[in-house]
Chain A
Amino acid sequence: MRVAVLGVGYSGFNTNTPDLNWKELMLEAAVRAYEDAGINPRKDVDSVVTCAEDFWEGFAIFDEFVPDQLGGVLKPTCTVCSDFLYGVATAYMQIKSGLADIVVVEAHSKASDILTFGEVIKFAMDPVWLRDIGNAHPYYFAALEMSQYVSECCINEEQIAEVVVKNKNNALLNSSAPYGAKVTVEDVLNSPMVFDPMRKIEIAPVSDGAVVFVLGNEFVAREITDTPVWVKGVGWWSETSNYDTMSFNAMYAYKAAKMAYKLAKITNPAKEVDFAEVDDRFAFKELQHIEALQLSRKYETGSLMQEGYFARDGELPVNVSGGNLGVGNLLEATGGQKALEVVLQLRGLAGKRQIEAETGVAQAWRYIPTASGTVAVFGV
Chain B
Amino acid sequence: MAVGKKDISAPPYAEGTSLSDEDIKKKKVTYVEDHPNIRYSWTAGQAVSKFLNELKKGKIAATKCNKCRRIMVPPRVFCELCYKPIDEWVYVEDTGTVQTFSISYIDPDAKPLEEPVIVAVISIDGASKNMGIMHVLGEVKPEDVYIGMKVKAVWKPEDEREGSVTDIKYWKPLEG
- Contact B43 A42, beta carbon cutoff 8 Å: no
Cβ < 8 Å to B, chain A residues 113-167? 113-116, 119-120, 122-123, 127-128, 131-132
- Contact B45 A120, beta carbon cutoff 8 Å: no
User: How big is the A interface, by class?
Assistant: 20 to 34
Chain A binder among B13-21, B32-40, B155-163, B167-175: B32-40
- Contact A110 B38, beta carbon cutoff 8 Å: no
- Contact A55 B38, beta carbon cutoff 8 Å: yes
Q: Which residues of A contact B78 (CB under 8 A)?
A: 27, 68-69
Residue of B32, B38, B42, B83 near A21 (CB, 8 A) is B42
Q: Which residues of B contact A116 (CB under 8 A)?
A: 37-39
Chain B binder among A12-20, A241-249, A255-263, A269-277: A12-20
Q: Which residues of B contact A55 (CB under 8 A)?
A: 38
Q: Which residues of B contact A128 (CB under 8 A)?
A: 32
Residue of B41, B77, B82 near A24 (CB, 8 A) is B77
- Contact B34 A127, beta carbon cutoff 8 Å: yes
Q: Which residues of B contact A19 (CB under 8 A)?
A: 43, 45-46
Q: Which residues of A contact B37 (CB under 8 A)?
A: 116, 119
Q: Which residues of A contact B47 (CB under 8 A)?
A: 24
- Contact A68 B42, beta carbon cutoff 8 Å: no
Cβ < 8 Å to A, chain B residues 26-63? 32, 34, 36-48
Asked if A42 meets B40 with Cβ closer than 8 Å, knowing A21-B48, A24-B46, A69-B78, the reply is no
Q: Which residues of B contact A119 (CB under 8 A)?
A: 36-39
- Contact A20 B45, beta carbon cutoff 8 Å: yes
Instruction: With CB as the reference atom, state the residue of chain B lying closest to A71.
Output: B83
**Docked CA distance A114–B46 (Å):** 19
Q: Which residues of A contact B1 (CB under 8 A)?
A: none
- Contact A21 B44, beta carbon cutoff 8 Å: yes
A22 at the B interface (CB under 8 A): yes
Min CB distance, A201 to chain B, in Å? 27
Q: Which residues of A contact B45 (CB under 8 A)?
A: 19-24
Q: Which residues of A contact B41 (CB under 8 A)?
A: 113, 115
A191 at the B interface (CB under 8 A): no
> Of residues B41, B78, B82, B83, which shows the largest number of chain A Cβ atoms within 10 Å of its Cβ?
B83
Q: Which residues of A contact B76 (CB under 8 A)?
A: 23, 68
A58 at the B interface (CB under 8 A): yes
B81 at the A interface (CB under 8 A): yes
A67 at the B interface (CB under 8 A): yes
- Contact A132 B42, beta carbon cutoff 8 Å: no
Min CB distance, B172 to chain A, in Å? 30
Instruction: With CB as the reference atom, state the residue of chain B lying closest to A16.
Output: B43
Residue of B43, B80, B82 near A67 (CB, 8 A) is B80
**Docked CA distance A58–B43 (Å):** 12
A41 at the B interface (CB under 8 A): yes
Min CB distance, A41 to chain B, in Å? 6
Min CB distance, B84 to chain A, in Å? 9
Q: Which residues of A contact B43 (CB under 8 A)?
A: 17-22, 110, 112-113
Cβ < 8 Å to B, chain A residues 46-61? 55, 58
Lowest 8 CB-CB distances: which A-B pairs, in order? A21-B45, A58-B40, A68-B80, A115-B39, A71-B83, A128-B32, A21-B43, A24-B45
Give 20 A-B pairs besides A20-B46, A24-B47 with Cβ atoms closer than 8 angstroms.
A18-B43, A21-B42, A21-B43, A21-B45, A21-B46, A21-B48, A22-B42, A24-B45, A40-B83, A58-B38, A68-B76, A68-B78, A71-B83, A73-B80, A112-B43, A119-B38, A122-B36, A127-B32, A128-B32, A132-B32
